[in-house]
Amino acid sequence: MDSFNAILALLKVSLNAGGKTDEEIKKELDVFTGDIKANEWGEIAHTAKRISVASLMYDVIRLIPEVPDGARKVIESYSRTICSTNYKLLNLESWIDKLFTGAGIPYSIMKGMSAAVDYPVPDLRKSRDIDLILANPSDIERAVTEIEKMGFKREKKQASVHHVGVFDKKGLEIEVHTMMAIPFDNSVVNARMEKLVKESAGNAVRKNIMGVDLPVLPDAVHAFELLLHMLQHFLRAGFGIKLLCDWVTLWNRGLSEEDCEKYMSLVEECGVKGFSNMITRVCIKYLGLERKNVLWMKPFDEDKTREEIEADTAAFMEELKDAGEFGDSRTRMVALRGSGFTDYVREFHHQMHLNFPSLGKVFIFWPVLWVITLVKFLVNNRKVRSVSAKELFESAGKRADLVKRMKIFEK
C-alpha cells in the first residue's frame, strides 16, 4: 500500500473514531494495516507530517503495535507541537473575545477552532493561525488596534485584500477578515459573501470549544465558508486532504434539516453545486463521510455515466494528492475556467484587480497595471518557482479541465 492511500485509510478510521472502543477501532485497522510493510511506516509518517495530517492519525497509531519506533516518534512529536500551539491560540482567542466584547465589535471565529470542535479529539487538528471575521468591515481599524494592545504588530506588507494580518514575537498570527474569502472572478459569489458576513458574523452562535466559550458562524454559513475556503485554494494553487477532514467531521456530526436546506440554497445561488458535490463525493469514498448525513446532495451529473463520475472523482483525488497542503508544487498556478486565450486574459485581468484593489477601479490605469502584473508574474515565476512558463500553463490547462467538469460558477 502506498503512503498516500495508507494515510487515507488511517484518517478514515481516526475521523470516525468518536464513541468507539479501542477494540472496535483495532478491528477496523486490522483490515488494512497488515498490508503495510515495516519499512513503509517511515514514509507514511513523514508524508502525513508534510501535508499536516500526522496529528490526526495519532489516536489510531497508538493502537498499531507494528509501527516502528522511529515513525511513531515522528507522529508523537508532531502531535505534541500541534496540541501546544492549539492551546496557545485558544488562550489568545479567549483574550480577543474579551477585548472585542468590551469594545462592542461583533465578530466570529472562522475555520481553526470552530472546525476543530467537530473532531473526535479537537486538540489534534492543526491550526496555523487565528481567523476572525468582522460583522462590520468598517470595524477593521478598531479591531486591529485592540489586538495590538496584546503586543501584536501589523504586518508591513499585507498579502491579501480581504484581511489584515498581525503577528507577535513568538510567530503567532491573527488574520482579521472583512470577507470570507479572497474575491472571486464572479460578482454573484462576492455579493453573497458580503451579505452573509453582515447577516451571520453579527449573529454569532456561542459554542464551547475545548473549554472556552467563543462565537462561531451558524452551521449552514460555517459549512458554506469551509466550501469557499477550499474553492479559493483550489482555484489558486490547490489544497490537500487536511481541509477535507474538516468537511467529514462537520457533516458526520449531523446538521439540522433547516441548516442543510440553507446550505444548499447558498450553493445553488452561487453556482458551486458541482464543486460541493465533488468534495462530498470524495469524502464519502475515501474518508468515511456517511451518505446518510449528506442527503442534501442532489444529482448534478445526470448527463454523465457512473464510469465518468468515478473517473472525475479519481482525477480530483489525484489533484489533491499532488497539491501538498496548499498547492505546494512549483508548477502550479491558478485554475482557469477554460483553456482558451480569453480564459487566460480574464484570469490575468482578475489577478490585476486583486493586486491593485483601489487603482484597479480606475479604467485609465488598467494598461499600466496589466504591465506591472505581467512583470510581477514573470519575476516570481523565475525567482520563486524556477520553472518554465510552458510547464505552468500546461498545469493550468489540466486543472482548467477539472473546473470545466464541475461547472464552477454555472447554474
Residues 6 or more apart whose CB falls under 8 angstroms from that of 31 comprise none
Residues 6 or more apart whose CB falls under 8 angstroms from that of 14 comprise 56, 57, 59, 60, 120
Per-residue 3-state assignment (H helix, E strand, C coil) for 129-170? CEEEEECCHHHHHHHHHHHHCCCCEECCCCCCCCEEEEECCC
The rounded percent of the chain whose pLDDT value lies above 70 is 82
pLDDT for res 140: 92
Judge whether residue 281 has pLDDT over 60.
yes
> ∠ CA(129), CA(130), CA(135), 5° rounding?
150
pLDDT digits (tens, 9 = 90+) for 59-95: 999 999 999 999 999 999 999 999 999 999 999 999 9
C-alpha cell at 236: 489558486
pLDDT for res 344: 58
C-alpha cell at 50: 508534510
pLDDT for res 340: 54
Judge whether residue 387 has pLDDT over 60.
no
Residues 6 or more apart whose CB falls under 8 angstroms from that of 147 comprise 96, 99, 166, 174, 176
Domain 84-184+201-214 has CATH 3.30.1330.10: no
> In terms of Cα–Cα distance, which of 410, 402, 400 is closest to 339?
400
- Worst-scoring range by mean pLDDT, 5-14, 39-48, 385-394? 385-394
- For the chain, the structural domain boundaries read 1-67, 84-184+201-214, 218-328, 330-406
Average pLDDT score over residue span 204-230:
92
Judge whether residue 331 has pLDDT over 50.
no
pLDDT for res 171: 80
Return mean pLDDT, the chain.
84
C-alpha cell at 291: 451518505
Judge whether residue 97 has pLDDT over 70.
yes
Q: 216 φ, ψ to 5°?
A: -130, 165
Pairing relationship of beta strands 163-167 and 153-154 according to DSSP bridges: antiparallel
Terminal Cα-to-Cα distance of the chain (whole angstroms): 40
Alpha helices for 108-254 (secondary structure H): 112-116, 140-148, 187-200, 219-236, 242-253
Q: What is the DSSP letter of 335?
A: P
Best mean pLDDT range from 149-158, 181-190, 274-283, 388-397: 274-283
Judge whether residue 172 has pLDDT over 80.
yes
Residue located via cell numbers 477552532: 113
Q: What does the buried/exposed string (b/e) look like for 205-225 if buried means 16 or more CB atoms within 10 Å of the residue's CB?
A: eebebeeeebbbbbbbbbbbb
Residue located via cell numbers 457512473: 306
Residues 6 or more apart whose CB falls under 8 angstroms from that of 41 comprise 66, 67, 68, 71
Rounded CA-CA distance 278/293 in Å is: 16
User: Distances from the Cα of 361 to the Cαs of 37, 138, 160, 366, in angstroms?
Assistant: 58, 20, 17, 9
Q: What is the DSSP string of 67-93?
A: S-HHHHHHHHHHHHHHHHHHHHHHHHH
Residue located via cell numbers 515513525: 71
The residue with greater pLDDT, 185 or 216, is: 216
pLDDT band at 319 (very low <50, low <70, confident <90, very high): confident
Rounded CA-CA distance 214/195 in Å is: 22
Sign of the torsion angle spanned by Cα atoms 223, 227, 233, 239: positive
CB 252 within 8 A of CB 20: no
CB 201 within 8 A of CB 217: yes
The residue with greater pLDDT, 325 or 356, is: 356
Q: 55 φ, ψ to 5°?
A: -65, -30
pLDDT for res 8: 95
pLDDT for res 326: 46
Burial class (CB in 10 A: 0-12, 13-18, 19+), 324: buried
Average pLDDT score over residue span 260-275:
93
Judge whether residue 27 has pLDDT over 90.
yes
Q: What is the DSSP string of 195-219?
A: HHHHHHGGGPEEEEETTEEEEE--H
